[in-house]
Structure 1
Amino acid sequence: MANTITLKRSASAGKVPLATDLQLGELAVNTNDGKLYLKKDDGTPSIVEVGPVTSVAGRTGAVALSVSDVAGSVTSVAGRTGAVTLTGSDIAGVVTSVAGRTGAVALAIPDVADLSTSLVPVGAVVPFAGVSAPAKWLFCFGQNVSRTTYGALFTAIGTTYGAGNGSTTFTLPDLRGRTVAGQDDMGGTSANRLTGQSGGLNGDTLGATGGGETHTLATAELPSHSHVVDMGGALTTGSGGSHNHTFNYNERSKSGDGTLVSDMTGSGNTKTTSTVGSHTHSFDIPAFNSGSAGSGSAHNNVQPTMILNYMIHAGA
């Protein structure tokens, strides 16, 4: 059962309790004017004015405040933990206004607004492992959305990723099947890490796209190389330089006596051809091609990758 806290009461308007009326850290409330009194450590009661409380833990009307109403909400006071006696100095000057209002303030739910827009800026893009975008976030698949409904997002990114229908909608980034890289100049000097040679991707242009899943090498992209050709055997030319050739023959003779020629005999003789000057010999080799290799097919151009959703903070 919850412990009920009962405050000391006084029905006299403006009545300040005496030091003897309260224990240190004890509270008293004037039921006539609603003022709350707290006895400080120095023994002098101090008036602490608070605004009206309209509900406690969702309960309205006459409410008995119990420990469960604040359990777990306060873990320390002014750096002190455990059993703490609250004094005026613990809260003095801590809260001077609520939502721009000063004086007696009735705290309402809108005073504790959603902090998501201040912690995560509108237009921030983050990876998300879930299957459905949470509230105030949109998946980035290049869709057109309302400039009115998502006014804060339109202010942040404009028509950088597409103008939508040109009047009432604008286009979100399309990150389907794409990786994300930092803008090459990022508002400063270009790093020249992503230029027009990077698959047609201009790294200085926000929202530029490029690259591909596969790529077929062009001749200009091949590394410098050579081919070994097998001629199928050795080729030689004739001897060069001035030279001649000798040859042997037998001389035969026969007197003209009208008889049939019989076997002739004679001695061998040696003759020499005329000398030929230094010269070369030319010959032709038929044209041919070296053997072919490779298929000419496109190669995989994807780095090791895991698929997640990308979403953008829409602010609404």
Structure 2
Amino acid sequence: MTQKFSNNARTVLAAGISASETSLSVQSGDGDLFPVADTDTGPLFSVDDWFKLFITDVSGQIEIVGVRTRAGGSDVMSNVVRALDGTTARIWGVGAVAYQAFSANDLVSAISNAEAALLAAQEAETVATNALALVSGGSIPPGVIAYWPAATPPVGWFIRNGQAVSRADNPLLFAIIGTDHGIGDGTTTFNLPNDVTNNRFIRASGGALAVGAIQAPVNLTHTHAASSGSTGAHTHTQGQVGTVASGSYNLASGGVGITIVSSVGSSSANTSSAGSHAHTVSVTSSGDATEARPYARAYLPIIKGG
């Protein structure tokens, strides 16, 4: 909602009003001395535009009302809210003076709004200052790594793509990383880390993983289940080794005799090797990528120079 004001907005009532009426008319032709207000029948002053009207007469009494509707060119003001800012709704006769002015509440509101605007401006200035410090380097020490949401790094920063940079122009950065990522030309330059090649992720160092260590891509050791079909059913032939004929026999030791009344066959414990075969087992792969990765979003890897 917007409370509106007009300069030199002063007239008189064209007709008297009771203490409960919500519309009034001003002197013919004076309506446009006052702001235009939008029609609204919702909550108090939920309109886009409205204005306050002060009404007084020779008695010195004052009532402040809120006008929510006045069309351009009209001398009629409607949807009027009576008795604002602690005043009392009264009966007003023809010729009562109607004008615009600031009430104490308006001044308090204006001061409050100004203070809020000042606070917002100060916060915006702080944000801008911090952003400028980030872009220009500010208190950020050389060697800090970050990610940037644009293809070009901010001033004072380099892309971490293994490029060679000047040792003289970046003495603090050179003191931190030295030639850990490459000697450059060996005298005047040194290389930055290269996280662009292979689009490397960043992870914490510790344990066997030293600062600056590079790891090749691997997958966690795991197993796959596999099975083969039941094809290749076959049989083996069991052969007979020999027979013993029927008759009477004496055992060599003790002279005990035995009689075999019919031929007895004996079975071997070996089978033939017929039916030897093999099964081929294949495990299918899944996935459609050339790497294993989590959900990701790409940003420009940068490092602070200096």
Q: Which has the higher strand share?
A: 2
Same fold (TM over 0.5): no
What is the TM-score of this pair, normalised by structure 2? 0.42
What is the TM-score of this pair, normalised by structure 1? 0.41
Q: Which has the higher helix share?
A: 2
